Amino acid sequence: MLAQALPQSLARTGGEPLDHVADFPAIPEGWAYLDTAATAQKPQVVIDAITRGYDTSYATVHRGVYQRSADMTLAYEAARRRVAGFIGAGSPDEVVFVRGATEAINLVAQCWAAMQLRAGDRILLSHLEHHSNIVPWQMAAERVGAAIDVAPLTADGRIDLDAVEAMLTERHKLVALAHVSNVLGSVLDARRAADLAHRVGAKLLLDGCQAVPRMPVDVAALDCDFYVFSAHKLYGPTGIGCLWARPELLDAMPPWQGGGAMIDRVSFERTTYAPPPARFEAGTPHIVGALGLAAAIDYVEGIGLERIHAHESALVRATRDALGQINSVRLFGPEDAAGIVSFTIEGVHPHDIGTILDESRVAIRAGHHCAQPLMAALGIDATARASFGVYNGPQDVDALVAGIDRVTRIFG
């Protein structure tokens, strides 16, 4: 159905079809995995890197004087350098390893915002933020008596930066926005957002979870102040992610957890702390997770982020074209969404859509996607969401469309 249409879509986006499903042992033939925005499957090279880390080279880092520990420390810090280069950081010391983007945002909320916010200050978010980019700021604001403003969306589901410009005042200290929406796939003009925030003296935090697997990211060019992402959406392991921040901001932030590795010297009278990033990495880190993340970065850069973005854009275009022909289907988000298509079917709950599609071996996400304020703004309770990765192709779009046709027949 779409095998011929996809190359035409790719031609419009300047790319070529990708065919990397064979790299992913967890994807059997005939299974359409369309839930990459929730978590990406792992290529064999990442699995192998994790296995080697535990199998033949495992040791702790930053502590042992024996050779195995020294080698693992070098590999762990090489992974940090790999991340820094991947996102355009000026130095590896600007990269803090955390459990994921949620922990990264909470770290900023507790260590930066808690020190910088005062009663009467304001934080600006948007209607499409993930709960992880809402709740930590609510908690921080409640502690000090700050307030939160919410930017509206444009008609096609983008953060309305014209409205942001009108809303921002010198009382705003932080703007926290999704680089790419996890529900709508809309891409933020991040550089303009940074310019608007800095014009009033505010800092900009970008949630890059859906951006880093799909497009090149350069924090210097974006001119943001904080950038966060999770490895598991980037074809890497769960339990590890990254916070990037400007060095002067990290230097001024106090630690948020105490323990080993984050100290300079400890006595019962007084403790002094290590410089960043060690200051924010108390305890034994997720050593092998960092190795897996580095392998995942090698994998996507080996394919090319521009090619990945073009490929996923073509899949989105083909999906929207096909679903747009079904009268009962309502599509959300912009036409040029990055790798994500959210939709509803009139008279059918998204959970029922997901269940019936699963019977046809099509895996999607159904629910509010940790974005209940966005659902409220759209006037719905939930959506069905198909999201793409490097392992998807026209056959997966065909399977999705055929499954939705079955849903509409079942529900009349």
Please check whether residue 324 is in contact with residue 343, taking contact to mean a CB–CB distance below 8 angstroms.
Answer: no
Instruction: Report the relative pairing of strands 271-273 and 263-266 from DSSP bridges.
Output: antiparallel
Q: What angle do CA 233, 278, 243 make, to 5 degrees?
A: 30
- Scanning the structure block, which residue is given the tokens 């033949």? 56
Q: Residue 285 is inside which H or E element, if any?
A: none
DSSP string, 331-346: EES-TT-SSEEEEEET
Q: What are phi and psi of 33, to 5 degrees?
A: -90, 110
Torsion of CA 187, 154, 354, 32, to 10 degrees: -30
Exactly one of 111, 224, 242, 370 is catalytic; name it.
Answer: 370
- Specify the DSSP class assigned to residue 180: B
Please check whether residue 174 is in contact with residue 131, taking contact to mean a CB–CB distance below 8 angstroms.
Answer: no
Question: Cα dihedral sign for 356, 357, 361, 364?
Answer: negative
Q: Residue 223: how many CB atoms within 10 A of its CB?
A: 17
394-410 and 350-359 helices cross at what angle (nearest 10)?
Answer: 120
Between CA 277 and CA 105 the distance in angstroms is: 15
Let me know if 370 is a catalytic residue. Answer: yes
Please check whether residue 131 is in contact with residue 372, taking contact to mean a CB–CB distance below 8 angstroms.
Answer: yes
Please check whether residue 186 is in contact with residue 334, taking contact to mean a CB–CB distance below 8 angstroms.
Answer: yes
- Within 88-127, where are the H helices? 101-108, 114-116
3-class state of residue 349 by DSSP: coil
DSSP string, 311-334: HHHHHHHHHHHHHTTSTTEEEES-
Active site residues: 370
